[in-house]
């Protein structure tokens, strides 16, 4: 190691032979940090991680490193895939998934909690219900902090794995028509994925009930970037034109008025009958969990990519952990 040098937003020891990969020592807070070159790099490393896992199961790339997984909201995939990613690379994990059993329940602030955990760890992964919480925590943290979802704001690592899935399944991203269906207002996964795809020549079809339309701020970003898009509440009228059907859950927990939720829950259900109208070469995605938006009968359709998408999440998170820790 050389002496400590400033690298991006954090001050970290830099290896003597280190060529900056654009990630080392940095926080991952928003998809706005990614351009085509960085996306290519992270997908390439994810492919290498896949090959390594298929051949050997694990490696010692991050041996001696510790990840602190701090989740103030429920999670199955993001939490466990970050843990699996770290373990497959030889590192160890501290998990706080039930903040009510931690000192958060005694009133400890987010900055103090993050500063405590980073005293034990090399990288912190944070999920929090408030928009901007990851950026706030990163301001106090000396170690890299990865946003695992901040309320209705962003979910950048989900967008990375979604992007990786589209590229892997369809071989390209330019020229695709991507339809996003369901809760576009509160769905942080569709907010992040839309922004990430602005790096590519994609067109968008936003399908939602009126009260769950894509936020104006994101529509403005789509317009400013010169992408074509349409908004509709009718999935039947667009299913035959799309290359990616990205379905989301209507999130009961985000509604202030439960009557609004009751009015739109179950508004879209993807069934084998609907899929008969879709292209042969297209994919159905979902960040999961699903609560009825995709019928279980669709799971056997080869176009149903959502469990392959889940697996891709581990390889992308392996690539990201290796990158921020200076090993990719
Ligand atoms: N897709 C996703 O974020 O799933 P979890 O909420 O289970 O982490």
Q: What is the 3-state secondary structure (H, E, C) of the chain?
A: CCCEEEECCEEEECCCCCCCCCCCCCCECCHHHCCHHHHHHHHHHHHHHHHHHHHHCCCCCCCCCEEEEEECCCCCHHHHHHHHHHHHCCCEEEEECCHHHCHHHHCCCHHHHHHHHCCCCCEEEEEECCCCHHHHHHHHCCCCEEEEEECCCCCHHHHHHHHHHHHHHHCCCCCCEEEEECCCCCCHHHHHHHHHHCCCCCEEEEECCHHHCCCHHHHHHHHHCCCCEEEECCCCCCHHHCCEEEECCCCHHHCCCHHHHHHHCCCCCECHHHHCCCCCCCEEECCCCCCCCECHHHCCCCCECHHHHHHHHHHHHHHHHHHHCCCC
**pLDDT above 70: residue 72:** yes
Q: What is the mean pLDDT of residues 134-153?
A: 96
Tokens of 98: 């039930």
Separation of 14 CA from ligand 1 center, angstroms?
A: 33
Whether the Cβ atoms of residue 210 and residue 233 lie closer than 8 Å to each other: yes
Whether the Cβ atoms of residue 239 and residue 214 lie closer than 8 Å to each other: no
Report the range of poorest mean pLDDT among 7-11, 152-156, 204-208, 221-225.
Answer: 7-11
pLDDT of residue 285: 98
**pLDDT above 90: residue 1:** no
Cα torsion 277, 161, 294, 250 to 10°: value is -120
Whether the Cβ atoms of residue 192 and residue 217 lie closer than 8 Å to each other: no
d(C-alpha 187, C-alpha 152), whole Å: 6
Separation of 77 CA from ligand 1 center, angstroms?
A: 5
Tokens of 120: 């034990």
The pocket around ligand 1, CB under 6 angstroms, is made up of 75-79, 158, 287-289
Is the peptide bond prior to 281 cis by the omega test (within 30 degrees of 0)? no
Bridge partners, 93 (sequence order): 67
Ligand 1 atom, smallest distance to 288 CA: 1
d(C-alpha 1, C-alpha 146), whole Å: 24
Separation of 104 CA from ligand 1 center, angstroms?
A: 22
Tokens of 29: 């807070």
Mutate to test the pocket of ligand 1, among 71, 76, 157, 186 (most ligand atoms within 8 A of CB): 76
Instruction: Grade residue 17 by pLDDT with cuts at 50, 70 and 90.
Output: low
Whether the Cβ atoms of residue 195 and residue 32 lie closer than 8 Å to each other: yes
Q: What is the mean pLDDT of residues 170-178?
A: 98
Separation of 125 CA from ligand 1 center, angstroms?
A: 13
Separation of 88 CA from ligand 1 center, angstroms?
A: 20
> Which domains are present in the chain?
2-155+313-324 (3.40.50.1370), 156-310 (3.40.50.1370)
Which residue, by CA, sits nearest to atom 5 of ligand 1?
Answer: 75
Instruction: Grade residue 45 by pLDDT with cuts at 50, 70 and 90.
Output: very high
Q: What is the mean pLDDT of residues 19-28?
A: 85
**pLDDT above 60: residue 39:** yes
Separation of 326 CA from ligand 1 center, angstroms?
A: 26
Mutate to test the pocket of ligand 1, among 77, 126, 156 (most ligand atoms within 8 A of CB): 77
Mutate to test the pocket of ligand 1, among 81, 148, 158, 314 (most ligand atoms within 8 A of CB): 158
Mutate to test the pocket of ligand 1, among 71, 74, 78 (most ligand atoms within 8 A of CB): 78
Q: What is the mean pLDDT of residues 287-312?
A: 97
Separation of 44 CA from ligand 1 center, angstroms?
A: 23
Tokens of 77: 């995939």
pLDDT of residue 104: 86
**pLDDT above 70: residue 15:** no
Which residue, by CA, sits nearest to atom 3 of ligand 1?
Answer: 78
Q: Which residue has the higher pLDDT, 65 or 107?
A: 65
Report the range of poorest mean pLDDT among 74-78, 167-171, 204-208, 257-261.
Answer: 257-261
């Amino acid at each position: 190691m050389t002496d400590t040098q400033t690298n991006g937003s954090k001050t970290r020891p830099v290896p003597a032979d280190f060529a900056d990969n654009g990630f080392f020592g940095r926080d991952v807070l928003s998809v706005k940090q990614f351009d085509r070159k960085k996306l290519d790099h992270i997908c390439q490393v994810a492919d290498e991680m896949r090959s390594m896992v298929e051949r050997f199961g694990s490696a010692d790339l991050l041996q001696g490193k510790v990840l602190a997984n701090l989740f103030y909201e429920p999670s199955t995939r993001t939490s466990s895939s970050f843990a699996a990613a770290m373990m497959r690379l030889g590192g160890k994990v501290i998990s706080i998934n039930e903040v009510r059993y931690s000192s958060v329940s005694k009133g400890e602030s987010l900055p103090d909690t993050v500063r405590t955990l980073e005293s034990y760890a090399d990288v912190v992964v944070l999920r929090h219900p408030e928009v901007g919480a990851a950026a706030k925590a990163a301001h106090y943290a000396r170690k890299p902090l990865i946003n695992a979802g901040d309320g209705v704001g962003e979910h950048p690592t989900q967008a990375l794995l979604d992007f990786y899935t589209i590229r892997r399944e369809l071989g390209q991203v330019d020229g695709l028509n991507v339809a996003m269906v369901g809760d576009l207002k509160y769905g942080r996964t569709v907010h992040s994925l839309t922004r990430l795809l602005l790096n590519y020549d994609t067109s968008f079809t936003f399908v939602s009930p009126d009260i769950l339309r894509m936020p104006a701020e994101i529509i403005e970003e789509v317009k400013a970037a010169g992408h074509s898009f349409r908004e509709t509440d009718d999935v039947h009228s667009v299913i035959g034109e799309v290359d990616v059907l990205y379905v989301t859950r209507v999130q009961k927990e985000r509604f202030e008025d439960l009557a609004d939720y009751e009015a739109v829950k179950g508004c879209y259900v993807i069934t084998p009958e609907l899929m008969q109208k879709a292209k042969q070469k297209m994919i159905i995605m979902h960040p999961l969990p699903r609560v009825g938006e995709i019928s279980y009968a669709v799971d056997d359709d080869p176009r149903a990519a959502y469990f392959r998408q889940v697996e891709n999440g581990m390889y992308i998170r392996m690539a990201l952990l290796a990158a921020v820790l200076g090993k990719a």
